[in-house]
Amino acid sequence: MKNIKLIIRNKVFLFVFVAVILVFLFLKSIFGNCQSFKKITINVYNWGNHISDGSNGYLDVNAEFEKRTGIQVNYTTYLDNESLFAKLNGSSTKYDVIFPSDYMIAKLIEKDMITKLDFNMIKNASTIDKEFLNPQYDPTNEYSVPYTWGVIGIFYNKKIVDDPKEKIDWDIFWNPKYKGKILMFENSPRDALALSLLKLKLSINTTKIEDLQRAAQEMINQRPLINSYVSEQVFDKIGSGEAALAPYYSDAYIVNSKNEDIGFVVPKSGTNKFVNAMCVPKDSNHKKEAMQYINFICNPDIAVENISHVAYCTPQSVVRKRLDPKVANSELVYPSKEILSKSFTYKNLPDDINIAVNNLWLKTRIDGYNGKLKLILIFLIFILLYFTILIYKFIKKRKEFKLYEF
Amino acid sequence: MKKRVVLPPYIFWLVTFVLVPMSLVVYFAFTDKNGNFSLSNLNDVFLYSNVFLRSIWLGFIATSFCFLIGYPTAYIISRVNIKCRKFLIAMIMLPMWTNFLLKTYAWMTILEERGFVSCFFQFLGIGKFSLINTSSAVVFGMVYNFITYMILPIYSVLIRNDRHLVEAAQDLGANQLKIFLKVTFPLSLPGVIAGIAMVFVPSVSTFVLSKMLGGGKDLLIGDIIDMQFLGSVYNPCLGSAISLVLMILVFICSGIMNQFVKREERTVIAL
């Protein structure tokens, strides 16, 4: 009797459990659909802190876009080009607007992952300066609209670094005088290797394995001098004097110019210039709305707010004229033509060179490939130990059993 | 019969959140980027041997420290009166309510060259020094973050122990040390094993800690896995292969530790 009751209870429980899940799925599908009927949502995938979000007195750009068009913006951020590429490849989310930089755009075009833009819908693109049109990464200018640009420069603590500003060049990162005070890029293989290449006066777009190996060797030589590998903590560490030198992107200069101890210099020997542009992935579900969004971002009124907040350089001289003149005329923010003529944007490297760059960089980060034998040995010792204990216990048990029998 | 009542949800949970992800890890570990069967990932895992060794070594040190600090703490807490005990346990649990990253970030500013500790010693005239960006700082971070998982299981075993056994030992003339070695400690062994497993496993596979406290100079295996999935060197197949090897290692370790506990008292799953 009791048993039957239990079985019934069991079945009821199972039934309720399955029913709850089904109802949940049903409701979700209904409501999920309803929402998408009412409002279109576009997925915007951008660099971290790369849009004005209303946090320091400037316009909340996404909210403004929603207000004007009624299109919802689902805004998410990424850390570097490579993770953007990984996400585009691996994620089930369909992004509508992305902000890759130069070489990544070339790669995305090559892999046929971004779509041609409809410039009839992006009328504001006409305000982009001529020098930013038809760049090498997008020679026909059909796939991208430049959003911001900048250079890599050297940030330093004025109290610790006593070299004259004009003399600071890339080799300062290898100067033993600043041992334990040097910061390095944490998560970008290309940026990290580019520094070594710049120091060696080699092309940052080199496809020769020997050059890359030399650069990697420089990075290994540099290891003992390094304080830490960081990304955004650069300014905490330099500001407090914990570290003295760091390579970083020029946008950060304005943000941190309030701290008088932090200096910034773009080496005269040339540097890397990067452009971040807006693109629309091929598998976007809302291409029309995406174009609308890009057009909105290019609107000079909006761009002023954006650039004032993110502090990168603008590719629109209309916008530059409307910025704070202190910033717009600063040689530090907008490097001189002389420096720019010696600066290069990254080119997309062939796949095998890309893999080599990643592997070389990882090798410098993990301090070489060794210890294989030791690891296998440890594994074997662990397994042996495990079996010895098992066998020991087995024998002991048998002995006890025999004793018990007698 | 009674047990089966709770089974369906449990099986559902087990399948969706344990079995499926695990088999995905195994599947990815044995395939290359194009989805073909390949053993090259497993071969590549051994390129990161020194990272593995470092993780195991640091995890081992961290676990030892956790045990050396955690056991006496748990013992003392289990001995004091009930009001005091509740308060102390609450104090042990308190840091767990704060986010892991936040706690570590706080330690960064404390350990820096211009940080609190250094300033304090400078004030005393001993001189300034930087404690951060070393392997010891990473171990410190592990001990700080995971020691709760050592204290709690040991405490819960000690508290359940029958006080009469200790009294009986005293009656039979054993001194304090002997009671501890022959009665208390052997009885608390299941808790110790659970504690060791709960500290060692997260310590070996931790990430971020080495980036934040170690300055990213001595990467741990968790960081390498993190890089393979989220970082710039995107290769989930290799990441899965590293995870698989790490999982096997952890299983073997738990298997060894389980042998020290009676079958019925085992709390750690193992091979």
ipTM at complex level: 0.77
Six-digit token string for A157? 């603590």
pLDDT > 90: percent of chain B: 54
Lowest mean pLDDT segment, chosen from A29-33, B1-5, B106-110: B1-5
CB-based contact, A17 to chain B, within 8 Å: yes
**Phi and psi (nearest 5°) for A149?**
-145, 170
Last residue of a domain, one of A243, A273, A303: A273
Examine the pLDDT at B28 and tell me if it is beyond 60: yes
Task: Count up the domains in chain A and report the number.
Answer: 4
* CATH code (residue A207): 3.40.190.10
Stretch A31-39: mean pLDDT: 59
Examine the pLDDT at A254 and tell me if it is beyond 80: no
CB-based contact, A258 to chain B, within 8 Å: no
* Stretch 77-106 of chain B: residues touching chain A, C-beta under 8 Å: none
Residues A206 and A302 in one domain: no
Gap from A19 CA to chain B (nearest CA, Å): 12
pLDDT given at position A37: 55
Examine the pLDDT at B123 and tell me if it is beyond 70: yes
Residues A259 and A166 in one domain: yes
Indicate the burial class of A357 (C-beta count within 10 angstroms; 0-12, 13-18, 19 or more): buried
Contact between residue A82 and residue B233 where contact means Cβ atoms under 8 Å apart: yes
pLDDT given at position A174: 94
> Residue A262 pairs with which residues in a beta bridge?
A157
| Residue A370 with chain B: CB contacts under 8 Å | 49-50
Residues A247 and A324 in one domain: no
Q: Which residue of chain A is at minimal alpha-carbon distance from B113?
A: A242
Query: Which of B52, B214, B255 is the closest to A375 by Cβ?
Result: B52
| Residue B215 with chain A: CB contacts under 8 Å | 226-230
Residues A245 and A261 in one domain: yes
* Stretch 208-247 of chain A: residues touching chain B, C-beta under 8 Å: 223, 226-230, 240-242
d(CA A45, CA A99): 7
pLDDT given at position A4: 67
Query: Which of B51, B52, B232 is the closest to A80 by Cβ?
Result: B232
Residue A251 falls inside a structural domain? yes
DSSP string, A248-316: EETTHHHHHTTSTTEEEE--TT--BEEEEEEB-BTT-S-HHHHHHHHHHHHSHHHHHHHHHHH--B-S-
**pLDDT category of residue A35 using cuts at 50, 70 and 90:** low
**pLDDT category of residue B1 using cuts at 50, 70 and 90:** very low
Query: Which of A90, A240, A383 is the closest to B114 by Cβ?
Result: A240
Contact between residue A301 and residue A117 where contact means Cβ atoms under 8 Å apart: no
CB-based contact, B51 to chain A, within 8 Å: yes
d(CA A77, CA A283): 19
Examine the pLDDT at B204 and tell me if it is beyond 70: yes
pLDDT given at position B66: 97
pLDDT given at position A327: 81
Examine the pLDDT at A324 and tell me if it is beyond 90: no
Examine the pLDDT at A2 and tell me if it is beyond 70: no
CB contact under 8 A, B211 and A229: yes
Residues spanned by the domain of A64: 40-145+282-333
d(CA B191, CA B265): 9
In chain B, what are the domain boundaries?
48-265
Residues A206 and A248 in one domain: yes
Stretch B218-233: mean pLDDT: 86
Residues A251 and A140 in one domain: no
Residue A315 falls inside a structural domain? yes
Gap from A86 CA to chain B (nearest CA, Å): 6
Examine the pLDDT at B70 and tell me if it is beyond 90: yes
Q: Which amino acid is at B244?
A: L
pLDDT given at position A197: 93
Residues A329 and A287 in one domain: yes
CB-based contact, B130 to chain A, within 8 Å: yes
> Residue A98 pairs with which residues in a beta bridge?
A45, A279
Note the CATH architecture for domain B48-265: Orthogonal Bundle (1.10)
pLDDT given at position A301: 92
**pLDDT category of residue B221 using cuts at 50, 70 and 90:** very high
Residues A210 and A155 in one domain: yes
Q: How far, in Å, are B57, B192, B254 from residue B251 at the CA level?
A: 17, 17, 5
Chain segment A153-196, per-residue pLDDT in tens: 999 998 889 888 888 899 999 999 999 899 998 878 888 899 99
**pLDDT category of residue B228 using cuts at 50, 70 and 90:** confident
Lowest mean pLDDT segment, chosen from A27-41, B52-66, B108-122, B158-172: A27-41
**pLDDT category of residue A282 using cuts at 50, 70 and 90:** very high
Residues A289 and A264 in one domain: no
Query: Which of B50, B217, B232 is the closest to A229 by Cβ?
Result: B217
Average pLDDT over chain B reads 88
Examine the pLDDT at A94 and tell me if it is beyond 50: yes
Most confident of A323-332, A366-375, B56-65: B56-65
**pLDDT category of residue A3 using cuts at 50, 70 and 90:** low
Residue A349 falls inside a structural domain? no
Stretch A60-80: mean pLDDT: 91
CA angle A400, A402, A406 (to 5 degrees): 115
Residue A252 falls inside a structural domain? yes
Q: How far, in Å, are A35, B181, B190, B255 from residue B266 at the CA level?
A: 50, 21, 7, 10
Q: Which amino acid is at A144?
A: S
d(CA B206, CA B127): 33
Query: Which of A189, A226, A390 is the closest to B233 by Cβ?
Result: A189
Residue A366 falls inside a structural domain? no
Residues A170 and A261 in one domain: yes
Examine the pLDDT at B116 and tell me if it is beyond 90: no
CB contact under 8 A, B233 and A358: yes
Stretch A357-369: mean pLDDT: 86
Examine the pLDDT at B208 and tell me if it is beyond 90: no
Examine the pLDDT at B264 and tell me if it is beyond 80: no
CA angle A173, A177, A178 (to 5 degrees): 50
| Residue A81 with chain B: CB contacts under 8 Å | 232
CA angle A222, A227, A233 (to 5 degrees): 125
Residue A352 falls inside a structural domain? no
